């Protein structure tokens, strides 16, 4: 469950967004930096900042997937 390539695609604009659950901090730490430096946003499923140790995250570029995740998750 390596999410770094997917988060790199979000950062460069190839993916509009990406979400994953059951994560460890080492799975997403580098990808979070890429997305945030590119101007994207990263949150947990409730929209908070506990994505690094909360075991779930949503990353988005221009359109954030959080509202869709909340509706169906």
* Helical ranges in 13-49 per DSSP H: 25-37
| Predicted confidence (pLDDT) per residue in 6-56, tens digit | 999 999 999 988 999 998 999 899 999 999 999 999 998 888 899 999 999
Rounded Cα distance between 50 and 10, Å, is 20
What structural domains and CATH numbers belong to the chain?
A: 4-72 (3.40.190.80)
pLDDT at residue 64, rounded to an integer: 62
Q: What is the pLDDT of residue 46?
A: 84
Tokens of 5: 């390539």
- Report the pLDDT value the prediction gives residue 63, as an integer from 0 to 100: 58
């Amino acid at each position: 469950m390596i999410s770094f390539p997917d988060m790199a695609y979000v950062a460069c604009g190839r993916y509009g967004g990406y979400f994953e659950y059951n994560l460890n901090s080492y799975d997403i730490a580098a990808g979070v930096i890429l997305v945030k430096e590119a101007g994207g946003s990263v949150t947990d499923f409730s929209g908070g900042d506990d994505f690094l140790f909360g075991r779930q995250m949503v990353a988005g570029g221009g359109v954030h997937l959080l509202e869709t995740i909340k509706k169906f998750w």
